[in-house]
A and B are shown apart, each in its own frame.
Chain A
């Protein structure tokens, strides 16, 4: 668990530093300043991803809350498209929403210590879907919370590289999982609670996509619900 603590600790420290740098950037308005800050945020995302992977290597599968929290923080950490001239409140919220799960993850990694679970199955497709769902769900949820609190009605998700990729991943990956289940078990759901959660989140996600061009509030509410179910699936 030492690498997890080191990676997560470094990421938390860098996130705090990013907060300080951003505050300075807003105090001395310098749009060019946010470009290197954005790079640092990508590095934070990479560090948190490394910490989640090292927690997995240490014995905590992606059904456990620790790697899920670190993954969620990793997905929220990178800046959104068009954040080179960001809104201060949105930026602060976005940083806080990454720092909270990263901090809780660091605390858990320290408190759990070197007592990983005795048994772990090899990485399965279901685990990959859960991990991807957690990350993307957290990113979507963060986007909706930031938009709601910062009272921005502009839907800027189309420019988000992570979300565009995630849209494709979430639309297709659970389907591939059911395909594998059909061949392996002869049924769509392999009887696990987590699979019903994933299916429900997937269905809500598609419902959100259906309402994208009609009702922004409904679209956001459904996106947030899908994100929440993806993040909490099986916990």
Chain B
């Protein structure tokens, strides 16, 4: 029972939870952890290659301190209980502030005695409304991020060549590159960004009798009549029946582009002697020892594919947040001007 003079503990908790200082502390705590995360390399979640790269980088940077940092949880901050607790507290604080804002807004709305929409607009508590909109935007933004972290996924560095349709394993999604490599076609619900474009070729070989020769990309690979080779780096393939090795070298300075020329070098096996060297610009062919190698330009694109199930919600939340902040800034500026006058 709340006796007169005593303080209701729930009321005190409510007041603390909705205070500006607590919100500021939560925001600063989250910002500090985010800054720390950019300084300390954070452990990647699943990819074993990325994990070994991360471990090598961490050991090179921190040496003997790496295990200590790992034990202290400094290299897994993004998935740490502390960071999640801060986000949850921020969400809770924003929720309480929205509820409180709604109640206060209801109390401040112009009454029935104010007639006419112009007068009602003039008496409308704009500052509180904008604050409420911004806080609602912030809350929805957090909910959107939560949904995305639970059900969203991202594939980085996916290489797709022109004419290929790549199915993303385990997701049901697919991506394909358009004819001009400027455009990516993809399944519904994906956002695809082209990080890099570069040259690539589709290769095949024929002998003097116009028979197709098999090509082999690696010793353990199955021989194939046609090979698709994205030229992210130098690429090699063999023509076992003609005892030839072909090396393809993309020629570019700085960032690669889809139209970069490609240097083709053909070596005899087992002597290792260079038989032919030629520069390809687009489609072309190279003849050596009665074998014709045909190259068709098939540029590649390095893609980042994102599935964000809360994309619409986050966009809406961001729009609310920005609208609320802009309105609140305007109200503050007007209040300052009125105070100065």
When C-beta atoms are compared, the residue in chain B nearest to A192 turns out to be: B38
- Quick check: A214 and B21 within 8 Å, CB to CB? yes
Residues of A within 8 A of B319 (CB): 179
When C-beta atoms are compared, the residue in chain B nearest to A199 turns out to be: B34
Please tell me the size bucket of the interface on B. 35 or more
Residues of A within 8 A of B35 (CB): 196-197, 200, 229
Q: Which of A55-63, A95-103, A205-213 contacts B (4 or more CB under 8 A)?
A: A205-213
- Quick check: B27 and A215 within 8 Å, CB to CB? no
Within the assembled complex, what's the spacing in Å between the Cα atoms of A158 and B325? 18
Per-position binary interface string of chain B over residues 8-47, scored 1 when its CB falls under 8 Å from any chain A CB and 0 otherwise = 0000000000001101110110111011011000000000
The one of B27, B38, B191, B329 that contacts A167, using a Cβ cutoff of 8 Å: B329
- Quick check: A171 and B329 within 8 Å, CB to CB? yes
- Quick check: A184 and B38 within 8 Å, CB to CB? no
Please tell me the size bucket of the interface on A. 35 or more
Q: How far is the CB of B302 from chain A (nearest CB, A)?
A: 13
- Quick check: B308 and A186 within 8 Å, CB to CB? yes
Known: A186-B308, A188-B145, A199-B34. A158 touches B336 (CB 8 A): yes
- Quick check: B24 and A211 within 8 Å, CB to CB? yes
The one of A118, A186, A206 that contacts B191, using a Cβ cutoff of 8 Å: A186
- Quick check: B191 and A222 within 8 Å, CB to CB? no
Residues of A within 8 A of B191 (CB): 183-187
Residues of A within 8 A of B25 (CB): 207
The one of A119, A193, A211 that contacts B21, using a Cβ cutoff of 8 Å: A211
Within the assembled complex, what's the spacing in Å between the Cα atoms of A85 and B308? 56
The one of B32, B156, B322 that contacts A172, using a Cβ cutoff of 8 Å: B322
- Quick check: B336 and A196 within 8 Å, CB to CB? no
Residues of A within 8 A of B27 (CB): 203-204, 206-207, 210
Q: Within 8 Å of chain B (Cβ to Cβ): is A16?
A: no
- Quick check: A207 and B322 within 8 Å, CB to CB? no
When C-beta atoms are compared, the residue in chain A nearest to B34 turns out to be: A200
Residues of B within 8 A of A168 (CB): 326, 329
Q: Within 8 Å of chain A (Cβ to Cβ): is B154?
A: yes
Residues of A within 8 A of B24 (CB): 207-208, 210-211, 218, 222
Can you list 17 residue pairs at the A/B interface with Cβ under 8 Å?
Answer: A168-B326, A179-B322, A182-B308, A182-B311, A184-B191, A184-B193, A185-B191, A185-B306, A196-B34, A197-B38, A201-B31, A203-B28, A203-B31, A204-B28, A208-B24, A210-B20, A211-B24
